[in-house]
Structure 1
């Protein structure tokens, strides 16, 4: 009994102990199950009206877009520019946000794209232009639907059996391309339906149309005199705190701003030192004897030049001035240099001369290199048909493994020896020695080709030149010296004030940037996304690491954190003062003019210490007046002012105006209701297309976490 009483006395404590143990058990179970809850909350780039964009989804879209951009640049012999990654990330993020917003709105409205409708857009009677373009013969301009259907049968029903690794890879690429195209077409159709519905919901009434017509019906020509506000010294204008407060409260809604980070920073260009230039010059001079005497130029250059050796002849007229000057006077195996040009030292060696076409235009049908009897038989059969005058373009579209050129009838375009060299020396020799119209076979590292030369330029002098080029780059010592100098500076100047105050002594120029989460660049640095990411995850007063971007070192200090909301009166004080000052200066000018009793434009101009100018063709719809700019007071006054009378003074954006209309032109044609209605609708639709997404964003609940990831 005594024991029972003790238990009752300790009941409260037992409940607490059991509760804590139970909580520990639950939390422990969560932690041991892989942090599922926490991972779900961390694994999101954004949340739009409750729908998550996961890191994996986002990264997959980024990879897909990056590959598309790389392929596009590759077609022109270029690589993605520096800084493209940040731009692609932003483009994909914006696109995914817009898609979710549109999905929400279209779902609410019951707007869909059915399977039958999508099939009609992709392969039916109403095929979209994007698909037609891919399957249109560029020579005839005729869309080949049968080619489209054959292509779809191949990528959707074809198997990887009996395919080489390269063929299987190409097939998978084409499948993915078509899947992405389907998604884009469906999304575009959905957007089109949504925008059509929105535009049809805005119908102008008779008064809207008549008002729009009347606004542009009359235009005026006038003379004017203007006294700018800058003619009044700022020191003569007094502005009180109460006036600032009153204007702030009146304009407060214009001072909304998103979250920002104020960063003070400097950059240091990573450039070669004098010692680096000397070292590079010494190195190229040490290679000269070997470059001039070696029989294996390609082998020697493969380890010693920044410009790869291309075993090809180039027309003399396409050479740069230094090379052309050398070639015109050199003998075979002569060497010239080093020549310094554009931060590089270069030497030339003349390997050969010839006369031939600068370029040839070819088309081809490519088959895989594998020794498969069926492929070989088809290859031989297609070659015989092409050789005997068959439709080469049709054969290419049907049989060529190079699908990029196949859609253009096998056309590879104009090729120089340099551009053709990527297909190997056999291919170069074959196409440049062949006559126009000849059809022949040749192998390359990529496959077996049936080739036709369709055009040849006239023969010109050509030369094969080996180049030994060494670009002067910052050495590791130069790099370290620059880096260590910055490290020492930020170690001793690790506060905002000293970071900025002492920079000029070290030759560092401090800049200030107000950054938002959406920014990519920072001043002259186009790709500064990692700096912005740091700024939004740092604390006020933190010094950044030394970032290396675009051949610059960049270091910054987080000077301030600006929360989302309204700018404070102090933050916009200068803006408020400018507005109040303009109003007060206008009053000063207008009172002075009244006292002087001016009555004509000339007398007003004299009183304003100004001159008389002319403006023409100004209607209510005029956006900017030639010679004046944006002045709504003039576009609202001139078309309706009486002729040959002085109107003013008028308070404008930039100064006080006095005008006199001397001519008016009124459109004599009666209003065409249908034409004016169409113009009005186009204007409304344009405004809607530009603003609808932004309105949807403002109304949506969007959680933007991308700064955690990129």
Structure 2
């Protein structure tokens, strides 16, 4: 096999592994929340870490590479704005993670030696990625000789050759992956769980509490009966201030959307247009040409089994006569006509062999091979010698048994319309194929259907009307309050809170990247100075809030914390009610009766699973219970669902923990898993990450 052919075969696997490593090995969720003001930097820098610039060109090239890999894996020809944003985010995380690991490893003296690198590739302990890339598909075994052969072949290739660059990137990723593994291993080895921690964890999971409680639920006080003061907001904010740290700058937008989607009149017009084609379609003697001329989508004509047509066609096409035209019907935003071209009984599966030949001289060679085989030559020997498909060629051309639709349509038409023992020569997208039909199994009716469709699009009148409404509303906002003008006109104001600088969409808007970019260059209160178009929607937008990186001020979180503050105000009222009931009460039953509550007994609750049956998780309540005395009437405890009082009946202690080894191992494993993500988050903060993506993407 020639060197280029050999490398092409191997490099397909290698490229997939390189990009797979890039997307997976160093992506850590905790690194997503990164960034700072983007108004610094330049157009050639997408970000900074440890004072080092991350080049914009390098970032976009990696995004393109990862995007192409995603398309290859998903079978998509293009990426939606949401998927594009996902790929960009993963690429950003990948580059940050690599930089952090490399920086910290260098600082502490960690490295991957030449001997380790060699061992990962050609040694006795190859990397799993090497094993996957060089596993023989026929035997399923790792082919070490192929690794050595590939390296030797690469040595004679010029350094500028793309395949050599692919290999170098592959090896680089292996080394970076190994370095990250060593760093995280060193980090994990520094963690320690002592016997006291193991004992506490054991008791938290096994010590039982039996108690009874009474609750006054928050929902007993209507929201509209609660008055929240500035002091209430301030008190809650001061107590929870550490929760309001904004990891990256965000913006909030409110907008009014004007629908430019096709109207009923538009729908009727397109349906009529398709209806006019029905008579011509039925009379057509060249359905393929008719579809090419009249249809928006040029679909392949293939045989389909019952259940594969969809759109209600199964119920009519399998009982109709050839030439029957069904429709118009609406499918996926198109009005369509379907014509039954052919109906036949066909095998359910076929067993076949093939030899794939070069299209340039394949037809002539296929005829020659067919003659030789029919004259007594072995098909298997010919396949091994001449077939370009090395996978089936190594097996004597054997393709096994397959159903219709697994291979290309030209191939299917040949093997499913022939009979066992037939030789077929097919010129397909995969080259010229000499096919031998070994066997056919089963039978069922299949149909070939031609479809003509027209997109259901909005007319210029519909779009103009929607745009005019949006333009008029935009003009009205210049002289008045955005929300007030919308309310006066009867328009719904939608909100998009805490939008990040790299967001590609907003609620209800699939494509909003330009609008987001504007928001991150605007001032609070600004209105977008033109009508923004997103699909069939025309948008008028206003920037309502700017939340900088760092601890947010009270006024920026006031709306966010309002439900919790209201609950705290309710909790004070209900606590006062319980305190009044507890005055003079000797038992929980007496206090509950005075407060108008019911006493509920609960058994076998553990601290590690603080769920109260019927109420849900109540961390504060259960924690207080496990720190209380038996038979002592508690003070009120504000929980998630309401305010509680309780009495502990008993605690049931578990058997003594005789051996702490297993318990310590479990705790250490959990600690190590958390520590890796927390360490990378700490490194991100230490690296002073600056994110300019909102400005450049």
What is the TM-score normalised by the length of structure 1? 0.79
Query: 1:351 and 2:326 equivalent?
Result: no
SS at match of 2:48: strand
After TM superposition, give the deviation of residue 52 of structure 1 in Å.
1.0
Q: 2:608 aligns with which of 621, 644, 668?
A: 621
SS at match of 2:457: coil
| More off after superposition, 244-253 vs 528-537 | 244-253
Matched residue, 2:291: 301
CA displacement 1:354-376 (0-9 Å, x = unmatched): 11134557786645434599x99
Distance in 1, matches of 2:647 and 2:139, equals 61
Matched residue, 2:30: none
Matched residue, 1:209: 198
SS at match of 2:301: coil
Matched residue, 1:19: none
SS at match of 1:303: helix
Matched residue, 2:217: 228
Instruction: Check 1:379–1:561 CA distance in 2 against 1; reply closer, same or farther (3 A cut).
Output: farther
Distance in 2, matches of 1:378 and 1:666, equals 86
| More off after superposition, 442-451 vs 208-217 | 442-451
SS at match of 1:502: helix
Instruction: Check 1:332–1:675 CA distance in 2 against 1; reply closer, same or farther (3 A cut).
Output: same
Q: How does 1:107-126 map to 2 (within 5 A)?
A: 107-126=106-125
CA displacement 1:202-241 (0-9 Å, x = unmatched): 1123332233233323122443221124445779888776
Instruction: Check 1:698–1:128 CA distance in 2 against 1; reply closer, same or farther (3 A cut).
Output: same
C-alpha contact (below 8 Å) 1:137/1:409 kept by paired residues: no
Higher-Rg structure is: 1
Matched residue, 1:90: 89
Query: 1:650 and 2:637 equivalent?
Result: yes
Distance in 2, matches of 1:323 and 1:611, equals 61
SS at match of 1:537: coil
Distance in 2, matches of 1:703 and 1:220, equals 50
Distance in 2, matches of 1:455 and 1:176, equals 46
Q: 1:542 aligns with which of 526, 540, 546?
A: 526
| More off after superposition, 59-68 vs 361-370 | 361-370
After TM superposition, give the deviation of residue 543 of structure 1 in Å.
2.3
Q: 1:703 aligns with which of 678, 686, 690?
A: 690
Distance in 2, matches of 1:311 and 1:40, equals 55
Instruction: Check 1:323–1:154 CA distance in 2 against 1; reply closer, same or farther (3 A cut).
Output: farther
C-alpha contact (below 8 Å) 2:362/2:432 kept by paired residues: no
CA displacement 1:275-313 (0-9 Å, x = unmatched): 211221221122122211122111111132244342322
Matched residue, 1:142: 141
Instruction: Check 1:496–1:198 CA distance in 2 against 1; reply closer, same or farther (3 A cut).
Output: farther
C-alpha contact (below 8 Å) 1:490/1:499 kept by paired residues: no
Q: How many residues align?
A: 651
SS at match of 1:53: strand
Q: 2:541 aligns with which of 549, 556, 559?
A: 556
Matched residue, 2:5: none
CA displacement 1:599-630 (0-9 Å, x = unmatched): 14x44443343334454542222254443333
Q: 2:275 aligns with which of 260, 285, 299?
A: 285
What is the TM-score normalised by the length of structure 2? 0.80
Q: 2:680 aligns with which of 689, 693, 697?
A: 693
CA displacement 1:514-573 (0-9 Å, x = unmatched): 323254432233543332211001233332243333543333112343444433334445
SS at match of 2:645: strand
| More off after superposition, 591-600 vs 94-103 | 591-600
C-alpha contact (below 8 Å) 2:284/2:290 kept by paired residues: yes
C-alpha contact (below 8 Å) 1:367/1:379 kept by paired residues: no
Task: State the superposition RMSD in angstroms.
Answer: 4.3
After TM superposition, give the deviation of residue 410 of structure 1 in Å.
9.0
SS at match of 1:113: coil
| More off after superposition, 345-354 vs 57-66 | 345-354
After TM superposition, give the deviation of residue 65 of structure 1 in Å.
0.7
C-alpha contact (below 8 Å) 2:232/2:569 kept by paired residues: no
Q: How does 1:335-346 map to 2 (within 5 A)?
A: 335-340=325-330, 343-346=333-336
After TM superposition, give the deviation of residue 61 of structure 1 in Å.
0.5
Distance in 2, matches of 1:238 and 1:81, equals 46
C-alpha contact (below 8 Å) 1:266/1:509 kept by paired residues: yes
SS at match of 1:105: helix
After TM superposition, give the deviation of residue 665 of structure 1 in Å.
4.6
After TM superposition, give the deviation of residue 136 of structure 1 in Å.
3.9
SS at match of 2:346: strand
After TM superposition, give the deviation of residue 400 of structure 1 in Å.
4.6
Instruction: Check 1:610–1:462 CA distance in 2 against 1; reply closer, same or farther (3 A cut).
Output: same
Query: 1:523 and 2:515 equivalent?
Result: no
Matched residue, 1:270: 260
After TM superposition, give the deviation of residue 697 of structure 1 in Å.
1.5
CA displacement 1:217-274 (0-9 Å, x = unmatched): 3122443221124445779888776676566455443333343323211223431122
C-alpha contact (below 8 Å) 2:358/2:388 kept by paired residues: no
Instruction: Check 1:591–1:419 CA distance in 2 against 1; reply closer, same or farther (3 A cut).
Output: same
